[in-house]
Amino acid sequence: MAINLRTTQAETREQRLGTITHWEGNAGQLARDSAHTHGCGRGCDNGGRRLCEQSTPFAQASMCAEHIAVTNATIIQEALVIQHSPIGCAVSQSSTCRYYRDLAARRGWKLEDPQSICTNLGEQDMVFGGIAKLEQTIREAWERHHPKVIFVATSCATGIIGDDVDSAARQLEDEIGIPVVPLHCEGFKSRHWSSGWDVIEHGILRRLVRPDPPRKQDDLINVIHLGGPDVFTPLLAPLGLRVNLVMGGNTLDRLAELSEAAATVTMCFVLSYLATGLEQEYGVPEIKAPLPYGLADTDEWLREIARVTHREHLVEDVIARERARIAPELARLRQALAGKRGFVAAGAAFAHGLLADLRELGVEVDGAYSFHHDPSTDSGDPRQDTLSHLVETWGDIPNYTVSPDQHFQAHAALLRAKPDFVICRHSGSMAVLTARMGIPVLPIFYSNDGLGYEGLLTIGRSILRILPRKRFCEDVAAHSRFPYQPWWLEQTNPFALGADPA
Amino acid sequence: MSPLESKAAADGEFCSPSGPIEQVRYACSLGALASVIAIPGAIPITHCGPGCATKQFHALSGLNAYQGGEFHVPSTNIGNREVIFGGTDRLDELIEATLKVMEAGLFVVQSGCIPGLVGDDVASVVNKYRRRGVPIVFAETSGYRGNNFTGHETIIRAIIDQYVGAYDGPREAGLVNVWSLLPYHNPFWRGDLGEIRRILEGIGLRVNILFGPSSEGVAEWQAIPRAQFNLVLSPWLGLATAQHLQQTYGQPFLHVPAIPIGAKLTGAFLRQVTAFAGLDPQRAEAFIAREEKEYYLYLRDFSAFYAGCTSQYRLPSQLVVVSESAYNLAVTRFMVDQLGLVPGRQVITENPPQAFRDAIRAQYRRVADGVSAEVDFAEDGHLIRRLIGETDFTGQLPIVFGSTWEGEVARQLEAPLVEIGYPSTDEVVLSRSYVGYRGALALIERTYTTVVRASTMG
Ligand code: SF4
Residue A501 has pLDDT above 60, yes or no: no
Structure confidence by residue, pLDDT tens digits, A481-498: 999 999 999 999 999 997
Per-residue pLDDT at B62: 87
Per-residue pLDDT at B312: 76
Per-residue pLDDT at B458: 59
Query: Can you state the angle between helices A295-308 and A312-337, rounded to 10 degrees?
Result: 170
Query: Can you state the angle between helices B281-304 and B436-456, rounded to 10 degrees?
Result: 10
CB contact under 8 A, A88 and B112: yes
Residue A226 has pLDDT above 60, yes or no: yes
Assigned fold of A65-208: Rossmann fold (3.40.50)
Please tell me whether residues B319 and B419 are part of one structural domain: yes
Helices (H) and strands (E) in chain A, counts: 22, 13
Q: Is B421 on the interface with A (CB under 8 A)?
A: no
Residue A428 has pLDDT above 90, yes or no: no
Q: How many CA atoms lie within 13 A of A340 on its CB side?
A: 25
Per-residue pLDDT at B456: 81
> Given ligand 1 and candidates B24, B28, B48, B52, which is best to mutate, with the most ligand atoms within 8 Å of its CB?
B52
Chain A closest CA to B50's CA: distance in Å? Answer: 5
Closest CA to A275 of A187, A415, A380: A380
Are the CB atoms for A72 and A195 separated by under 8 Å?
A: no
Alpha carbon distance A268, A198 (integer Å): 13
Per-residue pLDDT at A38: 78
Per-residue pLDDT at B11: 41
Structure confidence by residue, pLDDT tens digits, B399-411: 999 999 999 999 9
Mean pLDDT calculated for residue range B173-200: 98
pTM of the model: 0.95
Please tell me whether residues B115 and B216 are part of one structural domain: no
Per-residue pLDDT at A341: 98
SS3 B79: coil
Residue B169 has pLDDT above 60, yes or no: yes
Alpha carbon distance B209, B180 (integer Å): 9
Please tell me whether residues B186 and B133 are part of one structural domain: no
> With bands split at pLDDT 50, 70 and 90, how would you rate the model's confidence at A253?
very high
Collect all residues of chain B within an 8 Å Cβ-Cβ radius of residue A140: 19-20
Assigned fold of A326-499: Rossmann fold (3.40.50)
Mean pLDDT calculated for residue range A281-293: 93
Please tell me whether residues B39 and B150 are part of one structural domain: yes
> Which residue, B111, B144, B164, sits at the end of a domain?
B164
Phi, psi (deg, nearest 5) at residue A65: -60, -35
For residue B40, is it within any domain? yes
Please tell me whether residues B237 and B378 are part of one structural domain: no
Whole-angstrom CA distances from B412 to A203, B120, B143, B400, B406 are 35, 49, 35, 11, 10
> With bands split at pLDDT 50, 70 and 90, how would you rate the model's confidence at B12?
very low
Which amino acid is it at B375? V
- Least confident piece of the model among A77-86, A135-144, A246-255, B210-219: A246-255
Q: Is the ipTM of this complex over 0.90?
A: yes
Q: Is A120 on the interface with B (CB under 8 A)?
A: yes
Are the CB atoms for A444 and A423 separated by under 8 Å?
A: yes
Please tell me whether residues B133 and B200 are part of one structural domain: no
> With bands split at pLDDT 50, 70 and 90, how would you rate the model's confidence at A71?
very high
Q: Is B143 on the interface with A (CB under 8 A)?
A: yes
Stronger pLDDT, A150 or A230, i.e. the higher one: A150
Alpha carbon distance A65, A193 (integer Å): 4
Strand order across the B136-140 sheet: B42-47, B106-111, B136-140
For residue B195, is it within any domain? yes
- Total number of domains in chain B: 3
Q: Taking the mean position of all CA atoms in its chain, how far away is CA B170?
A: 31
Mean pLDDT calculated for residue range B343-371: 96
Per-residue pLDDT at A230: 87
Please tell me whether residues B153 and B191 are part of one structural domain: no
Residue A500 has pLDDT above 60, yes or no: no
Per-residue pLDDT at A472: 97
Alpha carbon distance B62, A278 (integer Å): 37
Among chain A residues, CA nearest to B40? A483
Give the distance (Å) from ligand 1 centre to CA of residue A229: 29
Please tell me whether residues B150 and B87 are part of one structural domain: yes
Averaged pLDDT score across all residues of chain B: 94
Domain boundaries, chain A: 65-208, 326-499
Q: Is A158 on the interface with B (CB under 8 A)?
A: no
Q: Is the CB of A64 under 6 A from ligand 1?
A: yes
Per-residue pLDDT at A47: 74
Residue B15 has pLDDT above 70, yes or no: no
> With bands split at pLDDT 50, 70 and 90, how would you rate the model's confidence at B1?
very low
Q: How many CB atoms lie within 10 A of CB B309?
A: 9
Alpha carbon distance A80, A172 (integer Å): 14
Q: Which residue has a Cα nearest atom 6 of ligand 1?
A: B52
Structure confidence by residue, pLDDT tens digits, A159-208: 999 999 999 999 999 999 999 999 999 999 998 999 999 999 999 999 99
Mean pLDDT calculated for residue range A393-414: 95
Q: How many CA atoms lie within 13 A of A275 on its CB side?
A: 31
Q: Is the CB of B250 under 6 A from ligand 1?
A: no
Per-residue pLDDT at A459: 97
Alpha carbon distance A349, A352 (integer Å): 5
Q: How many CA atoms lie within 13 A of B306 on its CB side?
A: 17
Q: Which residue has a Cα nearest atom 1 of ligand 1?
A: A156
Q: Is A123 on the interface with B (CB under 8 A)?
A: yes
Closest CA to B115 of B49, B44, B28: B49
Q: Is B108 on the interface with A (CB under 8 A)?
A: no
Closest CA to A411 of A444, A382, A439: A439
CB contact under 8 A, A187 and B60: no
Please tell me whether residues B212 and B234 are part of one structural domain: yes
Q: Is the CB of B244 under 6 A from ligand 1?
A: no
* CATH number of the domain that residue B382 is part of: 3.40.50.1980
For residue B290, is it within any domain? no
Structural domain span for residue B116: 9-164
Per-residue pLDDT at A446: 86
Please tell me whether residues B34 and B131 are part of one structural domain: yes
Residue A45 has pLDDT above 90, yes or no: no
Give the distance (Å) from ligand 1 centre to CA of residue A65: 8
Which amino acid is it at A323? R
Whether the bond between A494 and the residue before it is cis, its omega within 30 degrees of 0, is no
Closest CA to A257 of A213, A225, A191: A213
Are the CB atoms for B193 and B432 separated by under 8 Å?
A: no
Per-residue pLDDT at A43: 59
Residues 6+ apart with CB under 8 A from A500: none
Are the CB atoms for B11 and B384 separated by under 8 Å?
A: no
> With bands split at pLDDT 50, 70 and 90, how would you rate the model's confidence at A434?
very high
Q: Is the CB of B51 under 6 A from ligand 1?
A: yes
CB contact under 8 A, A160 and B20: no
Strand order across the A217-224 sheet: A242-246, A217-224, A261-266
Burial of B311 (0-12, 13-18, 19+ CB in 10 A): exposed
> With bands split at pLDDT 50, 70 and 90, how would you rate the model's confidence at B77?
very high
Averaged pLDDT score across all residues of chain A: 93
Please tell me whether residues B156 and B265 are part of one structural domain: no
- Ligand 1 atom index nearest CA of A157: 1
Percent with pLDDT over 70 in chain A = 97
Please tell me whether residues B144 and B204 are part of one structural domain: no
> Which residue, B142, B164, B186, sits at the end of a domain?
B164
Stronger pLDDT, A215 or B18, i.e. the higher one: A215
Alpha carbon distance A444, A427 (integer Å): 7
Closest CA to A23 of A430, A369, A434: A369
